[in-house]
Structure 1
Amino acid sequence: MKLMKQKFLPLLLILSLLLPSIVVADAAPGDMIVTLGEDLTAEQRQSLLNEMGAPADVEIIYVTNEEEHQYLGNYVNARQIGTRAISSSMITLTESGSGLNIETNNISWVSEGMYANALVTAGVKDADIYVTAPFEVSGTAGLTGIIKAYEITAEIDIPEEQKQIANEEMVRTGKLAESIGMEEATELMNRIKEEIAKNPVETEDDLRALIQRVAQELGVTLTDEELNGLVSLFMRIKDLNIDWNQVQNQIGKIRDNLGDFLNREDTQSFIASMLDVLNRFIDAIKGLFR
């Protein structure tokens, strides 16, 4: 018996070293996960899965309303967050360097660019992300599910402070968009990050001057309250352990991906058909007056 143990001991040692590498697979491009709001009905869940084109064996996780309040409660009033978790998403990891590609449906307040900006701050990179709901929602709660899904799929842990700041950034960008426009607000946030990546700031005064300069270059006028809010936000972002070169790279990829969407043949065809319908409608109106 003792001899048998001596023979099997090396074999067991080898297996113990090999098994972890066999059982635990690294995150890889193509890995996919779906998040569903916990309060969706069974019919709504199936409808959203069909809409996403999710495979039958896709991993599904659920996001609760409590989680939404945890990450949004400091920045959005409870009424806007609501009492039900509805927003859902699908995230697919892509090749390194491909950037973030965001698409939304039934999301009324948060734009693709706003999601992308906040996700870059959270450390999310290189993924195709689809955010949806069974009916029109603001979309603020969608970020909670995306970050949760990315942590599981990419097998990483994002610090809680970083998640909080990403949510604050999304909300601040949305509020800015209401006064200066969606594209302007998104580009302002992008440019500030790019400038910090190129020329790191040390003091609050330096950061304030940087934000004012970028806003002026973009032709954007900020109120004192908006400026102070941005200074506060970016002071917190500055103190995160962020790879600013990675941030700059992801922002560049986001711009490319948004440009690709606008230049896609099906998108251009849709725009052309809409313009054709509009022109025919105008001609019909003119005919009435003739």
Structure 2
Amino acid sequence: MFIHSLLRRSISLTIIIVCFFLVPVAYADTSQVITFGADLNSEQKTLVARKFGVNLQDTAIPLIEVTNAEERRYLQGLVPNKVIGSRAISSAMVEVLPAGSGVTVETHNITWVTTDMFENAVVTAKVKDARIIAAAPFPVSGTAALTGIFKAFETATGQKLDEESKKTANEELVRTGELGEAIGKEKATELMLKVKERVIADKVTDPEQIKQIIINVAGDLNINLTPAQIDQITQLMQKISKLDLNIRDISSQLQDLKTKLDDVVAQNEEVKSILQQILDALNGLIEKIRAWFGL
């Protein structure tokens, strides 16, 4: 009798254990994390989440907030207070990808910062192998979005990014945007990337050598910089040179950005080729007209 009772208990325990492992358990997907601006209301959060392709009523993705005070910590002194504002609006979703995937960025309602600028800046902070979406419920500049991106990446990976790297990345984003207002965002991003790559690859720390790299790269890209712009970029690159960045990591993480820049160059060359053909045809026509009239 005792043995039968023991067997029944053992069988029941076994069934319970088996059922425990067979029943689906909902775990939070920490490979994806969403950061909302803390001053968004519930309706705005729902709207932004749709930009991420997420239904807030049915998601296991961790949701965290970023405050204006956190944004201000990295932007204070880089942009005027009125640009930082008093509310945290910009939001982000970060999805950690398999090693070697690189970094890609998509934006919605971000008006001042381009996807290329984001990609270039986040890699300076050593964000890697991530799909990033930055968004807002209405048009915003996007200058504060990096704070939420970094916070989401840290939460998703469980690894803290270096504070100095995050500050420098924010400065790089702002300086690129300011330069872009003078020479165009694409040219500014390409200039910053190429200068950064040379500084890191050659381990240059001397300000005069950095300045010469900037002048050389600007010349290669047919970009005219003012002395003030050169000095500002030099100061930024001095900070970047101290971040222990690896040129192989930079290159591998920015394949998406490099491809886009190469496409722009190719398109420009194609346009130049077409324009040259038109000019050659016009010159040929003019020569024929001169010949007809004996000019």
Amino acid at match of 1:136: P
Q: Calculate the TM-score normalised by the size of structure 1.
A: 0.76
Q: Secondary structure at the match of 1:85?
A: coil
> Are the equivalent residues in 1 in contact too, given 2:199–2:205 (CA < 8 A)?
no
> Are the equivalent residues in 1 in contact too, given 2:90–2:136 (CA < 8 A)?
yes
Whether 1:174 and 2:162 are equivalent positions in the alignment is no
Superposed CA RMSD in Å reads 1.9
> Are the equivalent residues in 2 in contact too, given 1:76–1:171 (CA < 8 A)?
yes
CA displacement at 1:258 relative to structure 2: 7.6
Q: Percent identity between the aligned chains?
A: 41
Aligned pair partner of 1:87 in 70, 87, 90: 90
Larger radius of gyration: 2
Amino acid at match of 1:195: R
Q: How many residues align?
A: 233
The 10-residue stretch of structure 1 (227-236 or 197-206) with the greater mean CA deviation from structure 2: 197-206
CA distance in 2, matches of 1:107, 1:136: 6
CA displacement at 1:251 relative to structure 2: 2.6
Q: Secondary structure at the match of 2:104?
A: strand
Q: Secondary structure at the match of 1:131?
A: strand
CA distance in 2, matches of 1:251, 1:101: 8
CA distance in 2, matches of 1:258, 1:209: 23
> Are the equivalent residues in 1 in contact too, given 2:51–2:108 (CA < 8 A)?
no
CA distance in 1, matches of 2:164, 2:186: 27
Q: Secondary structure at the match of 1:205?
A: helix
Structure 1, unaligned runs of 5 or more: 1-24, 261-290
> Are the equivalent residues in 1 in contact too, given 2:190–2:261 (CA < 8 A)?
no
- Deviations 1:111-149 (CA, angstroms, capped at 9, x unpaired): 001101110100001111111101000000111100111
CA distance in 2, matches of 1:228, 1:252: 29
* 2:60 alignment partner in structure 1: 57
CA distance in 1, matches of 2:258, 2:204: 24
CA distance in 1, matches of 2:255, 2:201: 14
* 2:109 alignment partner in structure 1: 106
> Are the equivalent residues in 2 in contact too, given 1:162–1:240 (CA < 8 A)?
yes
Structure 2, unaligned runs of 5 or more: 1-26, 264-295
> Are the equivalent residues in 1 in contact too, given 2:200–2:245 (CA < 8 A)?
no
The 10-residue stretch of structure 1 (65-74 or 247-256) with the greater mean CA deviation from structure 2: 247-256
CA displacement at 1:259 relative to structure 2: 7.7
CA distance in 1, matches of 2:213, 2:51: 43
- Deviations 1:14-43 (CA, angstroms, capped at 9, x unpaired): xxxxxxxxxxx9xx9x81000100000111
Amino acid at match of 1:45: K
Q: Calculate the TM-score normalised by the size of structure 2.
A: 0.75
> Are the equivalent residues in 2 in contact too, given 1:98–1:253 (CA < 8 A)?
no
Aligned pair partner of 1:201 in 201, 204, 216: 204
Amino acid at match of 2:254: I
Whether 1:116 and 2:105 are equivalent positions in the alignment is no
CA displacement at 1:253 relative to structure 2: 4.0
* 2:77 alignment partner in structure 1: 74
Amino acid at match of 1:199: D
1:256-267 to 2 correspondences below 5 Å: 256=259
CA displacement at 1:52 relative to structure 2: 1.2
> Are the equivalent residues in 2 in contact too, given 1:90–1:131 (CA < 8 A)?
yes
1:1-290 to 2 correspondences below 5 Å: 31-54=31-54, 56-256=59-259
> Are the equivalent residues in 2 in contact too, given 1:108–1:136 (CA < 8 A)?
yes
> Are the equivalent residues in 2 in contact too, given 1:110–1:140 (CA < 8 A)?
yes
Residues 161, 225 of structure 1: alpha-carbon distance in 2 compared, 3 angstrom cutoff: same
CA displacement at 1:155 relative to structure 2: 1.7
CA distance in 2, matches of 1:142, 1:152: 16
CA distance in 2, matches of 1:107, 1:135: 8
> Are the equivalent residues in 2 in contact too, given 1:177–1:185 (CA < 8 A)?
yes
* 1:18 alignment partner in structure 2: none
CA distance in 1, matches of 2:64, 2:184: 34
CA displacement at 1:255 relative to structure 2: 2.3
* 2:273 alignment partner in structure 1: none
Structure 1 stretches of 4+ moved >6 Å: 257-260
> Are the equivalent residues in 1 in contact too, given 2:31–2:95 (CA < 8 A)?
yes
* 1:4 alignment partner in structure 2: none
CA distance in 2, matches of 1:38, 1:182: 29
CA distance in 1, matches of 2:66, 2:242: 29
> Are the equivalent residues in 2 in contact too, given 1:101–1:257 (CA < 8 A)?
no
